[in-house]
Amino acid sequence: MTTVIPNEPIHRLTLTVEEAATALGISRAFAYEAVARGEIPCIRIGKRILVPIAGLNRLLDSAGTATQEP
């Protein structure tokens, strides 16, 4: 069983699509389109669409190496 410590902050593991759009510097509509195309990783819980922070970091890390020319 997990013990909850009242004074310890909870660190979120996901962002909303809107928060991910802000972090990436793109519009909300473009972020939703990228999610629909599978370009931004997401998980769906009911009607909610969440973007895992770890997946977003992997996406950004791989984008930096994929666009560099030799």
Q: Indicate the angle between helix axes 53-66 and 17-24, nearest 10 degrees.
A: 30
Predicted structure pTM score? 0.76
Pairing of strands 14-16, 43-45: unpaired
Residue 3 neighbours by CB under 8 Å, 6+ apart:
none
Chain-centre distance for alpha carbon 28: 13
Nearest to residue 35, comparing CAs of 67, 24, 66, 12? 24
Per-residue pLDDT tens, the chain, 70 aa: give them. Answer: 666 666 777 789 999 999 999 999 999 999 999 999 999 999 999 999 999 999 999 999 998 775 555 5
